[in-house]
Amino acid sequence: MQIIPAIDIIDGKCVRLTEGDYDTKKIYNENPLEVAKEFEAAGFTRVHLVDLDGAKAGKVTNWKVLELVAGKTTMAVDFGGGIKNEADVNIVFNAGAKWATIGSLAVKDELLFVKWLMQYGAEKFMLGADVRDEKITIGGWLQTTDILITDFIDKYLKQGVQQFFCTDVSKDGKLQGPAIDLYKKLMEQFPQVPVIASGGVSNINDVADLQLIGCGGVIVGKAIYENRITLKELQAYNN
């Protein structure tokens, strides 16, 4: 299982939210590159970078943080938040992201996303599936759609997407444990791709549980910053 530490950015700083609520913002480090270098030093080869300003504004905003992390570490970066048009996609790739993470846009503008998959290569995108009660949420998790997560993922795997991560919004930032049953269901339905879990990881036992059920990866954020999991503990599960 691959451990993917997360760095969420507001105003160029490393923060975390609870359930996507910007009013719950907590700043953990003024310097995201410092955080990224700690992850790199601990042996992690990939980082999940989220531009929360971009997600709110509807345009990529913290691309300079991406440029720093991609340019000054050896980690592969997946970057999401505010990617709404081709100019945003180009900014993200030019700034050094290995993958662009697309969530809301894949719901709202399927034709445009499929165009990008063909234009840039489907392997360069990661699908972000944020869910509440197994239905896709969009717009920074503020709006729940009627789209079932299984239908959403199935549609884009058929378009060539090779990876996705799934966040149960009701779990995110609460440190109450991941959505194990949901991930099991996704693994049964989509055995051809690794399921990357996100949200709710509160301690190393949660990571062990995700490995046990066969998750291909797990994105870990708040538990690291709140010192509930050490990087050393995570190293044992990372491959």
Average pLDDT estimate for 52-65: 94
Amino acid found at 190 = F
- Encode pLDDT of 149-169 as tens digits: 999 999 999 999 999 999 988
Reduced to 3 states (helix: H, G, I; strand: E, B; else coil), residue 209 is helix
Rounded alpha-carbon distances, angstroms, from residue 119 to 97, 108, 113, 124? 16, 19, 10, 10
Q: What is the pLDDT of residue 21?
A: 84
Q: Is the pLDDT of residue 50 over 90?
A: yes
Please tell me the chain's helix, strand, coil percentages from 3-state DSSP, rounded to the nearest 5: 40, 30, 30
Mean pLDDT of the chain: 94
Q: State the first-to-last Cα distance of the chain, in angstroms, to the nearest integer.
A: 6
Is residue 146 scored above 70 in pLDDT?
yes
Under DSSP, the state recorded for 227 is: T
The mean per-residue pLDDT over the stretch 211-232 comes to: 95
**Helices marked H in 49-129:** 52-57, 63-72, 86-94, 104-108, 110-120
H-state helical runs in 109-221: 110-120, 149-157, 180-189, 204-213
Which CATH topology does 2-235 take?
TIM Barrel (3.20.20)
- The answer on pLDDT for 139 being more than 80 is no
What the block records as the tokens of 230 is 């050490």
Residues serving a catalytic function are 8, 130
pLDDT of residue 172: 67
- The per-residue pLDDT for 169 is 85
- Taking 70 as the threshold, does the pLDDT of residue 173 lie above it? no
Q: Return the pLDDT at 35.
A: 97
pLDDT number for residue 106:
96
**Which pLDDT value is given to residue 171?**
74
The pLDDT value recorded for residue 140 is 64
- Average pLDDT over every residue of 98-127: 97
Domains in the chain: boundaries: 2-235
Q: Largest Cα–Cα distance of the chain, in whole Å?
A: 43
